[in-house]
Amino acid sequence: MDELLEELQKLFLQQQYDVRDRLNRSLPFADYIVDRWKKSQLLGFGEGTSIYDSAVVLGDVKVGMHTWIGPFTVLDGSGGLEIGNYCSISAGVQIYTHDTVKWAISGGGEQPDRAPVRIGSNCYIGPNTIISKGISIGDGCIIGANSFVNRDIPSGRKAWGTPARMIE
């Protein structure tokens, strides 16, 4: 067991130096050994899409081609989640297709509410944004960092804030 640990530590150190020298960055351990594009393929996402190992993916999640899904994201597809092509889902984004409000306040007597979320193609979702169940974001949208999206955003619009408001 000690030999395996030593080999793993050597590999980790070697990968750290290599990534630092090539890309000028330092990553969590798993990102040195998990291929983001292969993980995306395993999940059935579109060609050229990548997803960090720290991302949590639940339920029915469909993602188009050439989309980047950043670290520490939550993609809840328990109510159905669809993300288009050429999107950037920034670090810390949480997308929910359910909530457990009624379940909690009923002491488990009610079922969680579920509703699908759809994000069109060519969208940028800023870091730490939360998108609630039942939301549709059209093509070509920009959602600013730290936003809470609780209403639909039509194609080509920019929105930010808590709650997110469309900007002209």
What are the tens digits of pLDDT across the range 12-45? Answer: 899 899 989 998 988 888 888 889 999 999 999 9
Q: Give the per-residue pLDDT at 63.
A: 98
Tokens for 117? Answer: 């979320």
Tell me: pLDDT of 120 over 90: yes
Q: What radius of gyration, in Å, describes the C-alpha atoms of the chain?
A: 18
**Arithmetic mean of pLDDT, 141-155:** 98
CA pair distance 98, 83, nearest whole angstrom: 16
Query: In this predicted structure, which of 11-15, 140-144, 156-160 has the lowest mean pLDDT?
Result: 11-15
Asked if 73 contacts 61 with a C-beta cutoff of 8 angstroms, the reply is: no
Topology annotation, domain 35-167:
UDP N-Acetylglucosamine Acyltransferase; domain 1 (2.160.10)
DSSP code for 108: T
**Arithmetic mean of pLDDT, 139-151:** 98
The per-residue pLDDT of the chain, averaged, comes to: 95
pTM (2 d.p.): 0.90
**Arithmetic mean of pLDDT, 48-74:** 97
Residue 150 neighbours by CB under 8 Å, 6+ apart = 132, 135, 163, 164
Query: What pLDDT band is residue 119 in, cutting at 50, 70 and 90?
Result: very high
Asked if 87 contacts 122 with a C-beta cutoff of 8 angstroms, the reply is: yes
Tell me: pLDDT of 81 over 90: yes
